[in-house]
Structure 1
């Protein structure tokens, strides 16, 4: 097995391509913490590597995000290479049987929501996955589309630019009902980051 690497827009995230299918086509799985990775033997092994902050599984790639800029990729890459090669040689399942990704479909979705999801799946998500990440539709209310960023996008400095200039512009072009696109912050780390941002904003002159 020959594992290749590919840079992402996020300097703290690196995309590893093992040359085999990782998860089902068009599916992705995001593991921001070790506790969230209990369903994936591969992700659990990758979390054992010192310096690994999060693991993201795409159809044919694995995105590793390191803890901080001070952590050297050279020390992490060798262990990630070895772990990936050993794992796929072992024949173990990437994800334990019976674990399914949540279905974004909803029988009550109206035409606008269905159009938003179709555009995300066909035009936007494949591009985002090329950069080692993904985005998940979380809702549409009062003209605002709510999306959750995953993988390399989570802590990427340019993620908000991607949301506003890329995703928002495309959705507005095809769907007049869309006014804006907002990022959803869900886990505790995201909430803490949002609180810190609000504290900082409160210190700025009005």
Structure 2
């Protein structure tokens, strides 16, 4: 019987049996003219511009469990089958899209997913209704420019299963890639495998999960419970903070089949 991961992960659709509802705010824009949703607008309400419809974009926003992070969904592929985390502007050397977004005042970090962009603001003092218009415009202008989202010199992190892994490590990686990471990505974040020693799995949280107030719940009541349910050798989960990846972009490839 599969463990109901959704009941435990704070970055999932459920939290302690309570449903966490997301709201989506559609956004229509053209390269020539831009309109933005106002804070008073109701979810699902949209603004449409028919001028030059061939260059019209539809961008949705989705709240995350982290009040300082919002997931922007441009309605097209971003990184397709991988994710990349940019914790600071210096890490964005390989991503023109991330560099453009860092120019928006108040933006702290950028996380790129298969079909979404998670933007984390610097603090609660920064109002979303003040920086959202610039983020919308930046995303729209970038996709209209034809520039690559990431360049060829983007680093790659091969943390998927490999032939060198022992049986326990291979099972941990497979469970992370097939059951845990997809759920965490639903709320604009990700989790990377960093090691396994003395029964402790070392993981690194990314995106909206990095500074989420409920990140400990995600690790202990969610990921740890799931891993222990399937893998008795796992005694606990430990979060890796401030490792060597903090000053460079961290990419995650899907597990090898």
TM-score by length of 2: 0.71
SS at match of 2:206: strand
Mapping for residues 60-99 of structure 1, pairs under 5 Å: 60-99=115-154
CA contact (8 A) 2:74 2:115 kept: yes
Q: Aligned to 1:42, which of 97, 101, 106?
A: 97
Distance 2:84 2:156 in 1: 7
SS at match of 2:217: helix
SS at match of 1:137: strand
Q: Which residue of 2 aligns with 1:103?
A: 158
CA contact (8 A) 2:95 2:154 kept: no
Q: Aligned to 2:198, which of 110, 123, 142?
A: 142
Q: Which residue of 1 aligns with 2:86?
A: 31
Query: Which portions of structure 1, spanning 4 or more consecutive aligned residues, are displaced by more than 6 angstroms?
Result: none
Is residue 15 of structure 1 aligned with residue 48 of structure 2? no
- Stretches of structure 2 lacking an aligned partner (at least 5 in a row): 1-56, 247-257
Higher helix share: 1
Q: Quote the offset at 1:99 in angstroms.
A: 2.4
SS at match of 1:38: helix
Which gives a bigger RCO, structure 1 or 2 (Cα 8 Å, sep 6+)? 2
Q: Radius of gyration: which is bigger?
A: 2
Q: Deviations over 1:50-74 (max 9, x none)?
A: 0000000000000000000010001
CA contact (8 A) 2:60 2:74 kept: yes
TM-score by length of 1: 0.88
Q: Aligned to 2:238, which of 165, 182, 201?
A: 182
**Number of residues paired by the alignment?**
188
- Stretches of structure 1 lacking an aligned partner (at least 5 in a row): 191-206
